[in-house]
Structure 1
Amino acid sequence: MYPKLIIDLKKLKGNLDAVANITKDQGGCSLMIVTKGLCADPQMVQMVAAHEKVDFLADSRVKNLASYAEVVRKQGKMTVLLRLPMHSEIAEVVKHVDLSFNSELSTIRLLNEEAGKQGKKHKILLMIDLGDLREGLFYQNEDVILRAVEEILQMANIELYGIGVNLTCYGAIIPKNDNLSNLTALAEKIEKAHSIKLNMVSGGNSSSIYLIEKGELPEGINNLRLGEAFLLGNDTAYGAKLPGTTGDALILEAQIIELQEKPSLPIGEVGVDAFGQKPYYEDRGIIKRAIIGIGKQDTELDSMTPLDEKIEILGGSSDHTILDVTKSDTAYQVGDILRFELGYGGMLKTATSPYVEKEYVK
């Protein structure tokens, strides 16, 4: 059945080996692998959990973490919740998550109370905002941060495991030695002020890994969180391919359901499309147009790259994607299968969609 996501576990293992070599062997950091990109796919999780150089498995969804917490803990590793916990999910967080990222004292207080009820000590990473302006206590408000740490350290059922930062995902701020040095300096102040030693100073995600190769990761950063670097082989700061990785471990296959010659310009007054956008069309005359049986509900059209380089994606709707196959050297027919590499957005949607089949290459 199509559409289908082909998951090459051998290539993913190769990517994991490569990023582990950079992160742990070269960078001296612990390795946290983020599983949300493939919606915590069980076979991928088993491979990652068994890898000797992986220390943590992380996801932004408690439901995903619950699905594999037992597998991870049996390997002596920790589950990590990346997205700040919602008050409505506190009990599930304490049950299934070993380490959660936090920035709100009201949430940490609830975690402390619930951990007491469950007879546990829950670990937290206090998030610091270095200017990307997503989550975290703002780094310039040092007094606020130190007061928060003081309260956290008094909680009987919470362990302050460390501090961390997220960059690039919202504000597109690239990690540099100078901004990450603000994080390590803050870690030193926290340790000195409270006579403690933080286990983790997490310096970001796949956009930070390039600093290791350049020798510019600040001393004191001892953890990176990698998702796209592992799954697609990308350094997300500048879009470079990481050494030893491949971008074709995940391939989307979709079937042609219509193949006809039609005008390239729609006929009539142009309004808005199914998603409320007013589209622009280029007049190419009569073209050979293929429709494949997948659309915006299941993938991200801008995040698909046809393996046939002479095919162009024109656009689509919820369930259809329209392609210009005029210049292709292949005489396609209705029923033929087209293959696409995926970017991050396309990968997220196809992995999450119940309408996209999964097939494994082992």
Structure 2
Amino acid sequence: MHATSRVEINLAKIAHNAEKLVQLYGSKGIELMGVTKTVCGDSVIAEIFVNNGIHMLADSKLVNLKKMRDAGVSAQFVLLRSPALSEVDAVVQYADISMNTELSVIKKLAETANLSNSVHQIILMVEMGDLREGIMPANLEGFIQKVMELSGVAIVGIGANFACFGGVRPSKDNMSELSKLADIIQTRFSLPLVHVTGGNSANYNWFTAADSIGNINNLRLGESIYLGRETLDRKAIPGLYTDAFTFVSEVIESKIKPSVPYGETGQNAFGNRLQFRDRGLIRRAIASFGSQDVLVAGLTPELDIEILGSSSDHTILDAKEVDLKVGDEVRFALDYGALLSVMTSVYITKKYSNIL
């Protein structure tokens, strides 16, 4: 069945961004994990990552890791989120590596791996200030001691998360601290850390300014590959495409109407009481999508029109001087939140262009 809204995915632009970022970070010895959660483990995009030098694919959803494995994507698969106790069997089955912070979960991973005579690899996440997941640095050595007593799991790295929950920037100081922790662990436990993963797309400014990156040898990139931006200030990275994804929808009504609702008002569909600026009569258009389809606040129209708001399946536009007619298509750039929502939405068609 035909959907009236779609996301256009330019595969050549994604490939270009992946290749350039592999070269950029590789110039100082940093390997990349390609984060596929944003595109729901899309195997077409996963293959582009692999073909352009990204051989570790990281996702927070096991169903996406399974999808890529089943599609025959040849990569090392990483569970990007701490496993839930209830999903440990599937973690051992579908993830080569998982990121961990809880001893009870690691013990269960070890038991499960032992049952299949396998060894599950783990990266221990360290709390460095962003206050999402992580073991407190003061507790790290004692934690590692306990993990090393278990058979069935092997510590292959440590990592830290930045700019996801608390917005804390990766800096010279906190990167240096993570690097020193890696030194201490490798010396104290004779434990080679294959992956010292220092963050994500927010690490671009730190990386470009750093004289030395220390022991940091891995970053987990999603947004900078997909949207060509670093994530602290959302600035475009030179030489990358910022328009690999475009959201397109159809106009289903176009009329001259007042700019302020009239009649007694209460809450709208989402429990909000909105304020309206009186602009007189305006050219008011409706596009055939709403907040059930996409994070509307994350869209920027390509034309000189304005998004006034949305209900669950209508988005209201002030067309200004643009003569939008019923059946016309309107195109929008997406930010990360909007991209995540359209790729997740079952109501939005995914259309590939410039297939390699």
In the superposition, the TM-score normalised over structure 2's length comes to: 0.96
Q: Equivalents in 2 of 1:226, 1:217: separation in Å?
A: 20
Cα deviations across residues 80-136 of structure 1 (Å, max 9, x unaligned)? 011110111111110000010000001101100111112210001000110100000
Could you report, residue by residue, the CA deviation over 1:247-271 in whole angstroms, capped at 9, with x for unpaired residues?
A: 1110111000111111111113332
Contact 1:22 / 1:212 at 8 angstroms: preserved in 2? no
Partners of 1:46 and 1:71 within 8 A in 2: no
Structure 2 partner of 1:41:
42
2:350 alignment partner in structure 1: 358
Residue 289 (structure 1) aligned with residue 284 (structure 2): yes
Give SS of 1:333's match.
Answer: coil
Partner of 1:278: 273
In 1, Cα distance between equivalents of 2:188 and 2:272: 54
Q: Is the Cα contact below 8 Å between 1:57 and 1:78 reproduced in 2?
A: yes
Q: Say which of 321, 334, 338 aligns to 2:326.
A: 334
CA offset digits 1:220-261 (Å, max 9, x no partner): 100000000000001112221112211111011100011111
What residue identity is the alignment partner of 2:344?
Answer: T
- CA offset digits 1:185-225 (Å, max 9, x no partner): 11111122212221111000000022222235631100000
Residue of structure 2 equivalent to 1:312: 306
- Whether the 8 Å CA contact 1:6–1:251 is kept in 2: the answer is yes
CA RMSD of aligned residues (A): 1.3
Structure 1 stretches of 4+ with a deviation exceeding 6 A read none
For residue 68 of structure 1, what is the aligned residue in structure 2? 68
Q: Which moved more, 1:91-100 or 1:209-218?
A: 209-218
The worse-fitting range, judged by mean Cα deviation, of 209-218 and 220-229 is 209-218
- SS at 2:201 equivalent: coil
How many pairs align?
A: 352
- 1:168-247 equivalent positions in 2, closer than 5 A: 168-216=163-211, 218-247=213-242
Where does structure 1 lack aligned partners over 5 or more consecutive residues? none
In the alignment, structure 1 residue 253 sits paired with structure 2 residue 254: no
The reply to whether residue 110 of structure 1 matches residue 112 of structure 2 is no
* Identical columns (%): 38
Amino acid at match of 2:113: A
CA distance in 2, matches of 1:291, 1:88: 44
| Greater alpha carbon shift after TM alignment, 152-161 vs 62-71 | 62-71
The one-letter code matched in structure 1 to 2:110 is: N
Partner of 2:20: 18
Give the whole-Å Cα distance in 2 for the aligned partners of 1:126 and 1:257. 51
**If the length of structure 1 is used for normalisation, what is the TM-score?**
0.94
Instruction: Report the AA paired with residue 43 of structure 1.
Output: V
1:259/1:31 CA distance change after superposition, 3 Å: same
Matched, 1:321 2:315: yes
Contact 1:201 1:221 in 2 (8 A): yes
Query: Aligned-pair distance for 1:71?
Result: 5.3
Q: What SS does the corresponding residue of 2:68 show, helix, strand or coil? A: helix
Work out whether residues 294 and 342 of structure 2, in 8 Å CA contact, stay in contact via their aligned partners in 1.
yes
Maintained 8 Å contact 1:3/1:356 = yes
What is the alpha-carbon distance in structure 2 between the residues aligned to residue 312 and residue 295 of structure 1? 15
CA distance in 2, matches of 1:133, 1:217: 26
Distance across 2 between alignment mates of 1:351 and 1:88 = 26
The answer to whether the Cα contact below 8 Å between 1:125 and 1:162 also exists between their aligned partners in 2 is yes
- 2:203 match: secondary structure: coil
SS of the equivalent of 1:137 reads: coil
Alignment of 1:166 onto 2:145 = no
Distance 1:130 1:30 in 2: 21
The answer on 1:131 being equivalent to 2:129 is yes
Determine if contact 1:90/1:114 at 8 Å carries over to the other structure. yes
- CA deviations on 1:275-324 (whole Å, 9 max, x unpaired) are 2222221111111111101111111111101111x100100011111110
